[in-house]
Structure 1
Amino acid sequence: MIRIIEKITEIIGWFQIAISPTLIGLGLGCILYYNFQNTIGLIFGILIAVIGLFCGVALATNKYNTTGTVSFLSKVNASPDLDKFNKTEKRNLKSKDLEN
């Protein structure tokens, strides 16, 4: 049962990793087609979107096979610099509340 849940979270992580380059490629393809609204612009726009899809799939599969997608996403989402900022901000808010 636990193994199934781990696989499900890895698959969800795989999709999260794969979607970023895909959306970037799709956005660039749309921008290219918007600027060149002809057959060549359409072909290159679709080509850029497909390249983004392939890059996303390759990156997600690589992370899935090596470190694991959940581990990769947790490292990417971790922000120790901002955590320090949030702690000092909370201390400042608590001290202001105590003064009032």
Structure 2
Amino acid sequence: MLTILSSFWPFYQFLWTVYFVIMFLIGFWCIFMFFGFIIPLWLTSGLMEYFGKTKPFDPEDVRRKTLPEQGAEIIFSNPKGNGPFLHTDHGHH
């Protein structure tokens, strides 16, 4: 049994090498992002917001606007009847 498993050793060594290289790159990406983006963000925008140098956050600025708020005219906003896709009776088909 051991000889059968040992015959797969080069392929497993290749898989672990690929895994190690990928994890190595991901780790360096995390380090570079933390020191190159996150910490400067804390030291600029974060401290400005903490000390009140920016305008107060308004959730309406980032809320997804509905279609009428975007200026679109909704033609079929209140359909009437018993069509196949209206589901007014909340029952089964």
Do the two structures share a fold, i.e. TM-score over 0.5? no
Compare the two structures and name the one with the higher helix fraction: 1
**Greater relative contact order: 1 or 2 (C-alpha under 8 angstroms, separation 6 or more)?**
1
TM-score (norm 2): 0.35
Larger Rg over CA atoms: 2
Report the TM-score when normalising by structure 1. Answer: 0.34
